Structure 1
Amino acid sequence: MKNVGIISQARMTSTRLPGKVLRPMAGQPLLLHHVLRLQASGLPLYLATTTNATDDVLAEFGAAHQLPCTRGPEDDVLARYQQCAAAHNLDVIVRVTSDCPLLDGALVADAVRTYLAADNPRLYLSNVLERTFPRGFDFEVFSRELLEEAAAQATLPSDREHVTPYIHQNRSGRVQFRHVRRAEDRSAYRLTVDTADDFELIRQLIENYDAATLPTDGLIALLDAHPELVALNAHIEQKKL
């Protein structure tokens, strides 16, 4: 049996919305919504934050919620993933980011089952290269072998900050790919939190529409039915790598 773990990266010094992961909505921090949704996958979940004093509160959050936390360089997030995977002896890593409070644990669990059935350590499986899901449902699944290779070979600062470019750009020439897609493209929707407008949309969805209990298709149907909600953050441009 392979040891699979979800690693979520988090820090308090977001450039566009500092402290966003601990901002409250529906009486609990954004990060707790993220954690509870992913714990529904049945997979172990780990937090990878920085050694900065500003992120002591995230380590404390992890301790309070029985969420193992590893700490490493702020800008070398790839090193943080490598440290976390080594600390917990992971064979397979699911990479997610903590600013996605409505990411569906069931969606992640299905993807992991698909990945494990392939039994291929050179496989990179994700829903981010060929986007059909809303922003905020992003996940990547890859082996410890690919992670260690990237950590050893990737030298560009952007490679280190964004963790997986060395893998998904196939710099080694030996990566194989599988894409998780949905039949109807809803990649224009944003359910990630990068700005105050993003936060307001998620807050309204959770507080007024019980979105934290909805599966992926239910959340997408909710957005389909409420274009006025979609409009709250439709103008936000995703930061480029």
Structure 2
Amino acid sequence: MTRTVAVIQARTGSNRLPGKVLEPIEGATSLLAYQCRRLRHIPGIDELVIATTENPDDDALVALGEAEGLRVFRGSEHDVLSRFLTVADATLATTLVRITSDSPFRDPAVIEACVAAHRAHGAEYTRPADGHLPKGLRAEVVETAVLRQIADDPATTDRDREHVTLRIRENREAYRIHTVTFPENLHRPEIDLSVDTPADLASARAVLAELNARNWPVDTVHICRLMDEKRGPNASLESLAS
């Protein structure tokens, strides 16, 4: 039996913007709650969960997940790989989708496409092709068995454990990797939609407000279109809040 589980990895610790995932992006809705609601029902995904740390500061994330009706799993703050395997054990996931909590505009359609391609090609690891899509709108799909092999390998470093799929990305010849292509108008790697600073947060709020004002869907196509119309082909997320 195959089972695909999407995992939002989240913690409140951040050097430049502590607690950013609990900051509001629209009304009283936090970045993390907004993301949970967007990604709750994606074709091909059997369950959406949150993986956070055992740090008491992250108790708030457990409460948020429970309020959103999601299961929350806790583990090591720095060994994120072990957190993902804890999720896999508890949910019986054979395939995992890795989602970072600092990208509120993660696109369900992109995730759906990557999961479908992953299955169709019998891949061990799938992601959008390099240079396709803005940063913060991409998706990673990986087989649980591969993560277990990495975790059990004595050569695996702390850096590998922190970044979960780094070992795969830096040793592509060792794995069955598939890359998903997207239309040319979405080839916008210079756009960064992740939230890492107060300026990023202000920009994300501005993007969402502008999309809502136009009654546009919050998706990759319309975000790229908004960037082009507002600031031209070299637009950045930060420029929309200026």
Moved over 3 A (4+): 228-232
Q: What is the deviation of 1:190?
A: 1.1
Using the alignment, how far apart are the partners of 2:178 and 2:74 within structure 1?
30
SS in 1 for 2:182: coil
Q: Within the alignment, does 1:222 sit opposite 2:219 as a pair?
A: no
The residue type equivalent to 1:205 in the other structure is V
Distance change in 2, residues 1:163/1:212 (3 Å): farther
Q: How does 1:196-235 map to 2 (within 5 A)?
A: 196-210=198-212, 213-227=217-231, 230-231=235-236, 233=238
Deviations 1:30-49 (A, max 9, x none): 11121122124142111000
- What CA distance in whole angstroms lies between the structure 2 residues aligned with 1:212 and 1:101? 16
Aligned to 1:108: 111
Cα 1:231–1:117 change in 2 (3 A) is closer
Confirm or deny: 8 A CA contact 2:49 2:70 kept in the other structure: yes
Aligned CA distance change for structure 1 residues 74 and 34 (closer, same or farther; 3 Å): same
Equivalence for 1:239: none
Q: Secondary structure at the residue paired with 2:174?
A: coil
- Distance of 1:232 and 1:165 partners within structure 2: 26
State the superposition RMSD in angstroms: 2.0
Aligned to 1:188: 190
- 5+ residue gaps, structure 1: 235-241
Structure 1 residues 149 and 186, CA gap change in structure 2 (3 angstroms): same
Q: Deviations over 1:146-193 (max 9, x none)?
A: 11111112531211111111222228x530211123233200001111
Distance 2:38 2:188 in 1: 20
Aligned equivalents of 1:222 and 1:98: distance in 2? 23
Q: Percent identity?
A: 34
Using the TM superposition, give the Cα deviation of residue 117 of structure 1 relative to its aligned residue in structure 2, in angstroms.
1.3
Instruction: Name 2:2's counterpart in structure 1.
Output: 2
Q: Which amino acid aligns with 1:55?
A: D
* Residue 22 (1) aligns with residue 25 (2): no
**Which letter does structure 1 place at the counterpart of 2:231?**
P
Q: Is the 8 A contact 2:193 2:237 kept in 1?
A: no
> Over residues 97-147 of structure 1, what are the superposed CA-to-partner deviations in whole Å (9 max), with x where a residue is unaligned?
011111111210111111111234xx21112x6132111112111111111
Match of 2:40 in 1: 39
Kindly tell me the number of residue pairs found equivalent between the two proteins: 230
Instruction: Note the C-alpha offset of 1:219.
Output: 1.4
Distance in 2, matches of 1:220 and 1:231, equals 10
Q: Deviations over 1:40-66 (max 9, x none)?
A: 414211100000000000001111111
TM-score, structure 2 length as denominator?
0.88
Q: Which position in structure 1 is the counterpart of 2:161?
A: 160
* TM-score using structure 1 length: 0.89
Change (3 A) 1:206 1:99: same
1:83 aligned residue: 86
- Consecutive unaligned residues of structure 2, counting only runs of 5 or more, are none
Q: Distance in 2 between matches of 1:206 and 1:40?
A: 20
- C-alpha distance 126-33 of structure 1, shift in aligned 2 (>3 A): same
Q: Is the 8 A contact 2:204 2:237 kept in 1?
A: no
